[in-house]
Structure 1
Amino acid sequence: MTSPAVRAVNLAEMLSQTARRLPDATAVVHGSVRWTWRELNEGADRVSAALRRTGVRTGDCVLLHARNHPEYIQSLYGIWRAGAAVAPTNVRLTPADVAVIADVCRPVAMIASAGTGDHVAAVRETTGLASGVLWIDGDGGPDAVADLPPAAGGEAGNAIVEVGAHAWYFFTSGTSGAPKAAILTHDQLGFVTTNHAADLMPGLSESDVSLAVAPLSHGAGVHLLPQVARGAPTVIPTSSRLHAEEVWGLVEQERVTNMFTVPTILTTLTDDPAVEKFDHSSLRHIIYAGAPMLNADRDRALEVLGPVLVQYYGLGEVTGNITVLPPVEHRRPQPDDVEIGTCGRPRTGMQIAILDDAGVELGPGEIGEICVAGPAVCAGYLANETATATAFEGGWFHTGDIGTLDEHGYLYITGRASDMYISGGSNVHPRDIEEKLAAHPAVAEVAVLGMPHPKWGEIGVAVWVSQPGAETDSAELLGWLEPKLARYKLPKYCIRWSELPKSGYGKIVKRTIRDKLISSGWAPSN
């Protein structure tokens, strides 16, 4: 018996519904621009119609390479309205990086920010893309999103999509190897939208206001979905880079109630003197994710902002939906034998298991790989059956992270499997070492990694950045750290840098640190 096709809800339907319900309410704010939901919806119609005229059909891919801008949101929903899958790329990537991504997802059209002509050329060279390029925030002309003609007749409707239809190719950040595209579907992202609204921002409605401080090409774009579904306007800063004074000024001016960020951005914002200049009492939820937040940075943010922090843990492949730690649980005591705070409890409708190397589920307090199941998990990797089979071995999605669950079901991440190194036969997970070093008042940022050693196989190297005006050195740091760690965990070297390399999404990139150490000629002295 052949299974019937089952219709899914096109993600663009959420915009259609909000525009019908709140046509004249504010949808997007960007400098002097204040679009209503009607205007945003009509803009998505124009993008959808333009894509269809260039030959984009349901199931095709459109690559979106652009800065945060109102026309970005217009384009995102226009792509879905046309029935295509979007492949967003971080605007800070090089043309070569974007070309690699295009080679995986094979777009038939592209939408790009003005000034990224080299990226468009690289995509064209890689894929043979001859036309179908629209420009965001351009200087006008027939290919500028702002000047697209109105949709005519049947061009405006949301394309029919079925359960399992591809909606978003969520690329890994590329910090640990070649990028892979996790397939996010319309029905899966519908669940994620509901789950984000319920677990991260309870009570989210049109009376809320969201501030976009991270690239919409990644987690902040997923955070946008519940805002659109609930009718909460999104405020986009005008600065091309993070500017704390502008951020806190917008929080006060627009009475912002929620924003999504990553730990490095949150720490930058709370450490800046501007946080004391503006009223941020409207904030109810500051959601942070993307990387573990050091306890010292978390405590500083709580001190400055109050009980508004919401942590979630989740990979792009699980669209952030693994755990949640709401504001009231940020001071939750940790077990005596665990030195790192919890990242929360399982998200609604999701399940977590800790598995050993043989795939056997472990009990509370035992350490193994964090694996997950549930409707937020991606549908596999695009055109990569080997990676898909590995990730879903045994039926669970394998995160590659190491951790433990307590008896109440709260998760503690102890490290990344790829970060672990073996020194003298002992496994060392850097996270605990980084936490302790970050607690030193002179340390602003730190990354610990294993480097090759002729005798021990690998040794720990801590690369750190000092707080402004701090008076200490690497020898003092090692001496301070020694009584706090088992001897085999102690880094053999502490190296001071002016800054740590980060990805376009704000994550410290250990692979780049390792490459820089090697290229500079670093080698152990004994």
Structure 2
Amino acid sequence: MSAFDFDPDFGPSSVKVANLAHFVTRAARRQRDKPAFVFGEAVWTWSEFETRIDAMAQALRDRFDIAKGDRVLVQSQNCNQMFESMFACFRLGAVWVPTNFRQTPDEVAYLAEASGAKGMICGAEFPDHVAACLALATPPQFVISIGGSDFGEEYDDLVSAHLGARVPDAPVERDHPCWFFFTSGTTGRPKAAVLTHGQMSYVVTNHLCDLMPGLTEHDRSIVVAPLSHGAGVHQLTQVAAGVATILPGSPNFDVAEVWRLVERWRVSTMFTVPTIVKRLIEHPAVDEFDRSSMRYIIYAGAPMYREDQKRALVKLGPVLVQYYGLGEVTGNITCLPAHAHTLGDTPAARPGTCGYERTGMEVSIQADDGTILAPGETGEICVIGPGVFAGYYRNPEANAKAFRNGWFRTGDLGHLDEEGYLFITGRASDMYISGGSNIYPREIEEKILLHPGLSEVAVLGIPDPQWGEVGIAVCVAKPGANVSEDEIAALLAAKVSRYKIPKQIFFLEEMPKSAYGKITKKLVRETLEARGLLRLSEEA
């Protein structure tokens, strides 16, 4: 049976490639007894790391019948088991389907359904998420619990029962799926971007080439973001280079702990987002520990305010590296390397740029009809190259919208200068980015409109010095209805993740509309500005 029988949208290529799990084997051969993964005070060597991955792969294969092409949903905070599960799935040719652990039970259940997950690995602290998934018409066939729980066999018990197993890497082709990276479009409905073994091998190589040149097994990397998204791609790259992964033991982000671990383990790389960089440099602990080992602090996910960028350069030195990308291109669009980060605001410094094309990738700025625009002209940012994903899982309509003439359409607006540096000037959609997370207004608007006293609502993002952007909601109540901000906040608290809830809620007598009777965010924003509300909100 073909590995792609589960989805007719994808067909096997004739080009065989190395299974991504082979990265672990390569490192374990050279560095058997050296640290591979550190979690709090626990340390696993490369040999132990691979042994645990083999054990879980055998448990998934022999006990739960996971085979090539099967999807395994993972709902977990950062931990060693979560990272191991990535390679256990890869080893079997299965598809790793990690969630954002902050998502609600209903949101995670949707991801389980949309991915067709055969099984689920879940942290013991998320019983409601398991219950929501098991209530589906086609629920996962099994659940493995990370930590003791009432809902599944315990992960570490399964590993202990299968220690000593040696599971060979499943043969894979270039276009064989390995990871469903959930992203969203303007509708806010999550879509599974299909990442493949061949694509990710290229991305890892490109990360080493463009973002972290000269990385070796003598480097160390610390995790300060969820492994389910960009941090997971970054750590996959570290494994490929034989770099040990350092995972803080605190469940919440602790700046002092991060800098303490940087000193203790001589950490040299980290992946993060601008808001976290800001917190790292503003905390007094930045000056209490030795951070001279840091070589690359890579940030992405949102633009960094220029003043924050300069403060980080002054405090940390020339270690900042920026990249621009999307889940569909696994961050692989542009790069602004460390030497291109400068303190001056001269034209040569290009303030506001997100860099130039990654090696092997090509960016074009296109008009609505697909015409490629000249330098300096603003249009949609489009990209081609081996870093572009295979498409959305079982979503031909989304695939048709995402590609035009072979180019992937990012939905972002920008322009290139004469030397090929990219500047992002806006978004084709209404999406905004808060704390590195994409937020899609329509999803929130639909939830707010469940309130019986509301007739119309608009959600939009505004600049915020801490989070990059935050959401605000503008509501119109039905005649005679009396709706409060607290009521809307309570409604949302039960239906969407906390980070998606608007920070402020305004009420208007009527919603501004275009000549065609449509609510447009531009007119809403202008109305708030005219009343002085938006200005006050941005300063709050």
Tell me the TM-score range normalised by the shorter chain.
Answer: 0.7 to 0.9
> Could you tell me how far 1:254 is from its partner in structure 2?
0.9
Structure-2 residue corresponding to 1:191: 202
Match of 1:258 among 240, 246, 269: 269
Letter in 1 for 2:117: P
Structure-1 residue corresponding to 2:108: 98
Asked whether the 8 Å contact 1:12–1:78 carries over to 2, the reply is yes
| 1:446–1:68 distance in 2 versus 1, CA, 3 Å | closer
> Could you tell me how far 1:18 is from its partner in structure 2?
1.2
Structure-2 residue corresponding to 1:417: 428
- Residue 203 (structure 2) pairs with residue 214 (structure 1): no
> Could you tell me how far 1:505 is from its partner in structure 2?
11
Structure-2 residue corresponding to 1:118: 128
Asked whether the 8 Å contact 2:27–2:242 carries over to 1, the reply is yes
Structure-1 residue corresponding to 2:382: 371
- Tell which deviates more after alignment, 6-15 or 277-286: 6-15
> Could you tell me how far 1:513 is from its partner in structure 2?
3.0
> Could you tell me how far 1:316 is from its partner in structure 2?
0.3
Structure-2 residue corresponding to 1:109: 119
3-state SS of paired residue (2:502): helix
> Could you tell me how far 1:65 is from its partner in structure 2?
1.0
Structure-2 residue corresponding to 1:145: 155
Note the 1:47-196 alignment, pairs <5 A. 47-53=56-62, 54-126=64-136, 128-129=138-139, 131-138=141-148, 143-147=153-157, 148-149=159-160, 151=162, 156-172=167-183, 177-196=188-207
| 1:72–1:382 distance in 2 versus 1, CA, 3 Å | same
Structure-1 residue corresponding to 2:446: none
3-state SS of paired residue (2:297): strand
| 1:119–1:305 distance in 2 versus 1, CA, 3 Å | same
3-state SS of paired residue (2:135): helix
| 1:384–1:257 distance in 2 versus 1, CA, 3 Å | same
Structure-1 residue corresponding to 2:505: 517
Structure-2 residue corresponding to 1:460: none
> Could you tell me how far 1:337 is from its partner in structure 2?
12
3-state SS of paired residue (2:304): coil
Letter in 1 for 2:304: M
Note the 1:160-309 alignment, pairs <5 A. 160-172=171-183, 177-309=188-320
Cα distance in 2 for partners of 1:119, 1:217 equals 16
Cα distance in 2 for partners of 1:51, 1:331 equals 49
Cα distance in 2 for partners of 1:121, 1:505 equals 17
> Could you tell me how far 1:6 is from its partner in structure 2?
3.0
TM-score for the superposition, normalised by structure 2: 0.78
Structure-1 residue corresponding to 2:391: 380
Note the 1:322-471 alignment, pairs <5 A. 322-331=333-342, 341-419=352-430, 434=463, 444=466, 447=469
Asked whether the 8 Å contact 2:474–2:506 carries over to 1, the reply is no
- Tell which deviates more after alignment, 361-370 or 5-14: 5-14
Cα distance in 1 for partners of 2:254, 2:245 equals 17
| 1:519–1:144 distance in 2 versus 1, CA, 3 Å | farther
> Could you tell me how far 1:149 is from its partner in structure 2?
3.9
- The number of residue pairs the alignment matches comes to 457
| 1:9–1:277 distance in 2 versus 1, CA, 3 Å | same
Match of 1:7 among 16, 30, 52: 16
- Residue 304 (structure 2) pairs with residue 316 (structure 1): no
Cα distance in 1 for partners of 2:260, 2:177 equals 38
Asked whether the 8 Å contact 1:107–1:127 carries over to 2, the reply is no
| 1:367–1:338 distance in 2 versus 1, CA, 3 Å | farther
Asked whether the 8 Å contact 2:225–2:271 carries over to 1, the reply is yes
Cα distance in 2 for partners of 1:409, 1:90 equals 34
Cα distance in 2 for partners of 1:397, 1:444 equals 31
- Tell which deviates more after alignment, 349-358 or 113-122: 113-122
3-state SS of paired residue (2:190): coil
Letter in 1 for 2:33: D
Asked whether the 8 Å contact 1:10–1:159 carries over to 2, the reply is yes
Cα distance in 1 for partners of 2:275, 2:497 equals 9
Structure 2 gap segments, 5+ residues each = 1-10, 433-459, 477-492, 512-526, 532-540
Cα distance in 1 for partners of 2:51, 2:122 equals 20
3-state SS of paired residue (1:182): strand
Match of 2:43 among 34, 37, 53: 34
Asked whether the 8 Å contact 1:334–1:342 carries over to 2, the reply is no
Letter in 1 for 2:66: V
Cα distance in 2 for partners of 1:52, 1:206 equals 31
Percent sequence identity is 47
Asked whether the 8 Å contact 1:251–1:280 carries over to 2, the reply is yes
Structure-1 residue corresponding to 2:489: none
Letter in 1 for 2:50: N
TM-score for the superposition, normalised by structure 1: 0.80
RMSD across aligned positions (CA): 3.3
